[in-house]
């Protein structure tokens, strides 16, 4: 018969460490922002009692993830404990970043995806890129802990399957996470590009620490990455956030179907804004001049050009309408605007003006993304770090 006391104490230690796991993740999150001088300060930041913090720190120190140089003084993450990879796959190019445990990017690599199409080819490119990155940064392969990749399309994060993509041609139900894990021999995570950008904004952008916000990407298409109660919203079939298809009021200048409702995307997506501009010019019998894109049209509006101002006004009204309705459903305090059209400051300003006029006690706040096109890559790195942490915790049990 086994010694009862020793069995109990082993189970007790394992249990203690198991309980410390979510706290450990919170501690790492805080330490990524800054080093801490005292345990009580760290406990307060994490919002956990001192005893739980001590358990979490002991777990992390045991693993070598956290160090206290000199035995006393500030706590910090051992940045060189291991490394992670973030992959951002777009329609025309792919970027991969190698980061340390603090999330600091050590090196980047990119390649064109214009001639790639099949998942197999993309995974090959990623494999090549990773090898190059490791050489560039002189990091040994065995220190790689996890990889996270963003795909442009409907992605089931739980199963790691890319259900359908818009621009990478013909991806249908691709088990992308397994493919990555087989190619790179490390744990992988897969998410769609808009949600990755939302993760990026939440970890390092304007939505840092905000539990309820929407990242609204307005470019060729329009989609949202939604955070509710501090977590990403996926929905039952991973299609939450497809707000580009929402019906919105029509624009009066639409000659063919005067004022008929259109979808958000067809009205203020990149092409929609261009079409508005061409219509306004046509109505005013003014030549549209050279082919302007949405950002340029809005800049002209800011400079006082009358027809561009009409387009900006219409677009801002429609965007305010959509944002207002989405905020009533979600009660998100903050909307971060990204994408080629969304990053326009004049659009943000005009839309906020209309929002402030709605009869709302606290109108939602609009901010242009400060991370811009890097949001996805930063989100990928953050997701890779979470994936690495989860696996480290599991190994202990």
Tell whether residue 215 is a contact of another protein (CB under 8 A).
no
Q: How far, CA to CA in Å, does 94 sit from each of 97, 125, 207, 378, 384?
A: 10, 9, 25, 14, 17
DSSP per-residue codes, 337-381: EEHHHHT-HHHHHHHHHHHHHSS-SSPPEEEE-SSGGGHHHHHHH
Least Å distance, CB 321 to another protein, is 6
Figure out which of the listed residues 129, 241, 339, 363 binds another protein, where binding follows CB under 8 A.
241
Q: Which helix (H) or strand (E) holds 291?
A: none
Phi, psi dihedrals of residue 216, rounded to the nearest 5°: -110, 110
Q: Output Rg (C-alpha) for the chain, integer angstroms.
A: 24
Phi-psi region of 109 (alpha: psi -120 to 50; beta: other; left: phi over 0): beta
CB 148 within 8 A of CB 189: yes
Least Å distance, CB 13 to another protein, is 17
Burial class (CB in 10 A: 0-12, 13-18, 19+), 126: buried
Bridge partners (DSSP) of residue 148 are 86, 189
CB 3 within 8 A of CB 383: no
Pattern 270-309, another protein, x by CB under 8 A: ----------------------------------------
Figure out which of the listed residues 1, 51, 256, 329 binds another protein, where binding follows CB under 8 A.
329
CA distance 232 to 190: 13
Least Å distance, CB 284 to another protein, is 19
Q: How many residues belong to the site for another protein (CB under 8 A)? A: 43
* Binding region for another protein (CB under 8 A) out of 107-115, 222-230, 270-278, 335-343: 222-230
Two tokens at 18?
Answer: 């198991």
Figure out which of the listed residues 229, 285, 290, 397 binds another protein, where binding follows CB under 8 A.
229
Tell whether residue 224 is a contact of another protein (CB under 8 A).
yes
Tell whether residue 330 is a contact of another protein (CB under 8 A).
yes
Q: What angle is formed at CA 140 by the lines to CA 138 and CA 146, rounded to 5 degrees?
A: 115
* Binding region for another protein (CB under 8 A) out of 50-58, 107-115, 187-195, 225-233: 225-233
Figure out which of the listed residues 111, 324, 340, 396 binds another protein, where binding follows CB under 8 A.
324
Tell whether residue 261 is a contact of another protein (CB under 8 A).
yes
Tell whether residue 231 is a contact of another protein (CB under 8 A).
yes
* Binding region for another protein (CB under 8 A) out of 95-103, 191-199, 230-238, 284-292: 230-238
Pattern 157-196, another protein, x by CB under 8 A: ----------------------------------------
DSSP per-residue codes, 50-65: HHHHHHHHHHHHHHTS
**Collapsed DSSP state (helix, strand, coil) of residue 229:** coil
Figure out which of the listed residues 331, 345, 356, 394 binds another protein, where binding follows CB under 8 A.
331
**Collapsed DSSP state (helix, strand, coil) of residue 90:** coil
Tell whether residue 208 is a contact of another protein (CB under 8 A).
no
* Binding region for another protein (CB under 8 A) out of 182-190, 232-240, 266-274, 282-290: 232-240
Identity of the residue, 51 or 114, whose beta carbon is nearer to another protein in the bound complex? 51
Tell whether residue 260 is a contact of another protein (CB under 8 A).
yes
CB 316 within 8 A of CB 347: yes
Tell whether residue 228 is a contact of another protein (CB under 8 A).
yes
Residue of 201, 346, 327, 184 lying closest to 273 (CA atoms): 346
CB 250 within 8 A of CB 314: no
Least Å distance, CB 330 to another protein, is 6
Least Å distance, CB 268 to another protein, is 13
Burial class (CB in 10 A: 0-12, 13-18, 19+), 225: buried
CA distance 243 to 235: 13
Identity of the residue, 38 or 357, whose beta carbon is nearer to another protein in the bound complex? 357
Least Å distance, CB 264 to another protein, is 9
Q: Which residues bind another protein (CB under 8 A)?
A: 210-212, 224, 226, 228-229, 231, 233-243, 245-247, 249-252, 258-261, 317-318, 321, 324-326, 328-333, 362
């Amino acid at each position: 018969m086994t010694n009862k006391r020793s069995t109990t104490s082993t189970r007790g230690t394992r249990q203690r460490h198991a309980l410390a796991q979510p706290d450990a993740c919170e501690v790492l999150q805080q330490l990524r922002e800054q080093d801490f001088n005292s345990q009580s300060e760290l406990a307060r930041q994490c919002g956990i009692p001192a005893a739980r913090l001590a358990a979490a720190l002991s777990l992390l120190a045991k693993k070598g993830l956290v160090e206290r140089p000199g035995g006393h003084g500030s706590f910090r993450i051992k940045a060189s404990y291991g490394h992670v990879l973030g992959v951002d796959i777009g329609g025309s190019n792919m970027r991969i970043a190698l980061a340390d445990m603090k999330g600091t990017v050590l090196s980047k690599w990119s390649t064109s995806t214009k001639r790639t199409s099949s998942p197999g080819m993309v995974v090959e490119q990623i494999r090549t890129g990773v090898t190059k990155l490791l050489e560039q940064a002189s990091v040994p392969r065995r220190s790689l802990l996890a990889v996270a990749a963003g795909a442009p399309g409907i992605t089931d994060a739980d199963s790691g399957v890319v259900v359908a993509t818009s621009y990478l041609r013909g991806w249908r139900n691709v088990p992308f996470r397994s493919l990555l894990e087989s190619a790179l021999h490390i744990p992988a995570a897969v998410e769609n590009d808009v949600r990755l950008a939302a993760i990026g904004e939440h970890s390092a952008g304007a939505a840092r620490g905000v539990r309820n916000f929407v990242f609204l990407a307005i470019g060729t298409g329009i989609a949202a990455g939604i955070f509710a109660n501090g977590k990403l919203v996926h929905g039952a079939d991973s299609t939450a956030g497809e707000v580009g298809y929402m019906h919105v009021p029509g624009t009066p200048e639409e000659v063919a179907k005067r004022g008929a409702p259109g979808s958000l995307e067809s009205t203020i997506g990149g092409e929609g804004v261009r079409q508005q501009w061409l219509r306004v010019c046509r109505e005013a019998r003014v030549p549209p001049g050279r082919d302007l894109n949405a950002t340029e049209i809005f800049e002209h509006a800011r400079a006082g050009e009358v027809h561009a101002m009409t387009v900006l006004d219409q677009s801002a009204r429609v965007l305010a309408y959509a944002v207002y309705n989405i905020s009533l459903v979600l009660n998100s305090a903050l909307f971060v605007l990204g994408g080629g059209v969304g990053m326009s400051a004049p659009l943000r300003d005009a839309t906020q003006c209309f929002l402030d006029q709605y009869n709302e006690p606290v109108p939602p706040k609009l901010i242009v993304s400060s991370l811009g096109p890097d949001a996805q890559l930063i989100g990928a790195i953050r997701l890779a770090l979470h994936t690495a942490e989860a696996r480290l915790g599991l190994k202990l049990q």
